[in-house]
């Protein structure tokens, strides 16, 4: 599994991740959503947890979790055909707003976010697995999900893959800058496996009149010490 299969171990990890010290340039008064990584918890779980900790005192009932499709090529998007999703922390109910349904239960970019949401008290989630989409599709999806009330938006992506440490830091810094400035014209330069979900995020931020702010950036070399071929991880709030 991508995270501990034992309930107590999983709860302990998430609670530890929520207690990390935050060093932000700007602390949010209002949060609409997060951008978080989706590698195994031993690699990026603390980075994701630091962003999720910003929601501890917020009262969201629902979450939309949007991640890229890693295992099968699709056009547009799919949501789950299951009424409940299960983790070691129990079941969580799903909902749908008329998106096409299928079995997307293997998609770790979505699954890895669910335990954090359960610990935050989220009652319902709508997972969206995104394939290849164009700008018009991204805009239409953003408009559709923006109408959901009392909802936290969670966008799942890792950054550059398998560059050496210095190259990764340079590329990831550029990608984070593009995400923070939210200029759709430069999004084709993003180096991230969740580039298509981030297109939706860009349009959603324009609708909500907000921009992402960095919580933390690291890459796998910072965690394992192996800097020959690393994966970049960043968390942001908006």
- Are the C-beta atoms of 155 and 36 separated by less than 8 Å? yes
Mean residue pLDDT of the chain comes to 96
Q: Say what the pLDDT of residue 28 is.
A: 85
CATH superfamily for 29-156+185-226 is LigB-like (3.40.830.10)
Beta bridge partners of 124: 62, 93
Buried b (16+ CB within 10 A) or exposed e, 144-167: ebbeeeebbbbbbbbbbeebebee
CA distances from 189 to 26, 35, 63, 97, 232 (A): 26, 18, 28, 31, 15
Q: What is the band of 191 on the pLDDT scale with cuts at 50, 70, 90?
A: very high
Strand segments, DSSP code E, in the chain are 33-36, 62-68, 77-80, 84-87, 90-94, 101-102, 124-130, 151-156, 161-163, 213-219, 230-237
pLDDT class for 124, splitting at 50, 70, 90?
very high
- In the prediction, which pLDDT does 31 show? 96
Instruction: Give residue-wise pLDDT tens across range 19-29.
Output: 999 988 778 88
Identify the band that residue 118 occupies on the pLDDT scale cut at 50, 70 and 90. Answer: very high
Residue 128 token pair: 């969206």
Question: Which pLDDT does position 49 carry in this prediction?
Answer: 98
Phi-psi region of 150 (alpha: psi -120 to 50; beta: other; left: phi over 0): left
Domain boundaries, the chain: 29-156+185-226
pLDDT in tens, 92-106: 999 999 999 999 999
pLDDT tens figures, 36-90 = 999 999 999 999 999 999 999 898 999 999 999 999 899 899 999 999 999 999 9
Could you tell me what percent of the chain has a pLDDT over 90? 93
Residues 100-103: contacts with CB under 8 Å, at least 24 apart: 100/76, 102/78
- List the structure tokens of 57: 């005192």
Which residues share a beta bridge with 77? Answer: 130
The 3-state DSSP composition of the chain as helix, strand, coil percent (nearest 5) reads 40, 25, 35
pLDDT (0 to 100) of residue 25 = 79
Q: Would strands 213-219 and 230-237 be described as parallel, antiparallel, or unpaired? A: antiparallel
In this prediction the pTM is 0.96
Distance of CA 137 to the CA centre of its chain: 19
Q: Is the pLDDT of residue 131 over 90?
A: yes
Tens of pLDDT, residues 203-235: 999 999 999 999 999 999 999 999 999 999 999
| Measured distance CA(191)–CA(141) in Å, rounded | 22
């Amino acid at each position: 599994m991508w995270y501990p299969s034992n309930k107590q171990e999983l709860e302990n990890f998430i609670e530890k991740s929520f207690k990390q010290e935050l060093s932000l340039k700007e602390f949010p008064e209002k949060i609409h959503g997060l951008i978080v990584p989706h590698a195994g918890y031993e690699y990026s779980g603390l980075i994701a947890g630091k962003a999720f900790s910003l929601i501890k005192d917020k009262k969201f009932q629902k979450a939309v979790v949007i991640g890229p499709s890693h295992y099968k090529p699709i056009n547009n998007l799919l949501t789950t055909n299951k009424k409940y999703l299960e983790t070691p922390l129990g079941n969580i109910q799903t909902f749908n707003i008329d998106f096409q349904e299928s079995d997307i239960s293997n998609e770790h970019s979505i699954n890895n976010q669910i335990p954090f949401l359960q610990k935050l008290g989220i009652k319902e989630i709508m997972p969206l697995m995104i394939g290849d989409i164009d700008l018009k599709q991204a805009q239409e999806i953003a408009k559709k999900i923006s109408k959901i009330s009392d909802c936290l938006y969670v966008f799942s992506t890792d950054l550059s893959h398998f560059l050496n440490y210095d190259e990764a830091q340079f590329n990831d810094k550029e990608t984070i800058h593009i995400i923070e400035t939210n200029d759709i014209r430069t999004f084709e330069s993003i180096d991230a496996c969740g580039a298509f979900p981030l297109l939706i995020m860009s349009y959603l931020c324009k609708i909500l009149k907000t921009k992402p702010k960095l919580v933390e950036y690291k890459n796998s070399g910072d965690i394992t010490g192996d800097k020959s071929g690393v994966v970049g991880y960043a968390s942001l709030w908006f």
